[in-house]
Amino acid sequence: MMPKGMNVIKRDETAWQMWHRNGTRCPRGTVPIRRSTVHDVLRAKSLFDFGKKQRRSSLTRRRDAPDVVSGNGHEHAIAYTGSSEEVYGAKATINVWEPSIQVVNEFSLSQIWILSGSFDGSDLNSIEAGWQVSPELYGDSRPRLFTYWTSDSYQATGCYNLLCSGFVQTNSRIAIGAAISPISSYDANQYDITILIWKDPKVGNWWMSFGDGTLVGYWPEELFTHLATHATMVEWGGEVVNTRANGQHTSTQMGSGHFAEDGFGKASYFRNLEVVDTDNSLTSVHNILTLAENTNCYDIKSSYSNEWGTYFYYGGPGNNPQCP
């Protein structure tokens, strides 16, 4: 059962996928799966690490602060809800760019996090979806649709996309890991994607839809401990890996590679932030909090308008004179 207030408009949600352009379609009863090659695996540090995010170590912070820490070089610019709420899903429309990546084992992503559990322990549950540029994972620098999950703080469970059992794809026309096109250009045409994740109140699985309501697949309730009931926090925003390969901050870009204050057509955005409440209704988010570890490298600025609801601009260039 989709959340109330979710208008389903029938239109082609596959035009953005490059693999459809030559007329390729999946036979009835099958789903598209991006092939992993030997080269994909060899780019990872190990077979165990292939398709996994590195665990983020903990920092001292407020009890209601989100799971954003600089451990292992992960840096963020995010908006988030308070940690005392019961949340059953989230939605946003995300501006798509092609940020440059300095070294192959760094990435840049823009996503929604659905979270529950302890940020300081080993039981954090997370469901994630958005777009990412990851040369290590995909072998190129194109922005790609992705999913992720973990039930133990990124230690042993979970993976990207369909690289392990977990996310169950039901759509035969949308490929997880597919390159997104067209993408936004500086001071020119802007393109975005809409992602909704919500918990089915009857069966309990967490579903993902793309665009104007096209179902993609679900994360079974049994994958999780805390998220088996509900989420306690939602985050929206960007994440990069900073390996300091040359002893300096990475020049890997977040979003468009421009700071939030540059605004529309220049900075990347998330718009129309919504959450699914206890009544299985989509409601606009108010009073969001924002966080960026190093605003000289990447920053975020939130606002509200009638058309975009709660929204924010975010991102940055990484290395610059103020971010050495």
Q: Is 239 a catalytic residue?
A: yes
* Tokens (6 digits) for 237: 């925003």
Instruction: Give the span between the Cα atoms of 299 and 313, in whole angstroms.
Output: 8
Tokens 């300091």, residue located: 244
Residue tagged active-site, from 13, 98, 239, 274: 239
CB atoms within 10 A of CB 60: 7
**Angle at the Cα of 248 from the Cα atoms of 243 and 252, rounded to 5 degrees:** 55
Q: Is 235 a catalytic residue?
A: no
Residue tagged active-site, from 128, 136, 235, 274: 128
Asked if 157 and 123 count as a contact pair (C-beta separation under 8 A), the reply is: no
Q: What one-character DSSP code corresponds to residue 251?
A: -
> b vs e for 150-188, b when ≥16 Cβ sit within 10 Å of the residue's Cβ?
bbbbbeebbbbbbbeebbebebeebbbbbbbeebbeeee
- The residues annotated as belonging to the active site are 128, 239
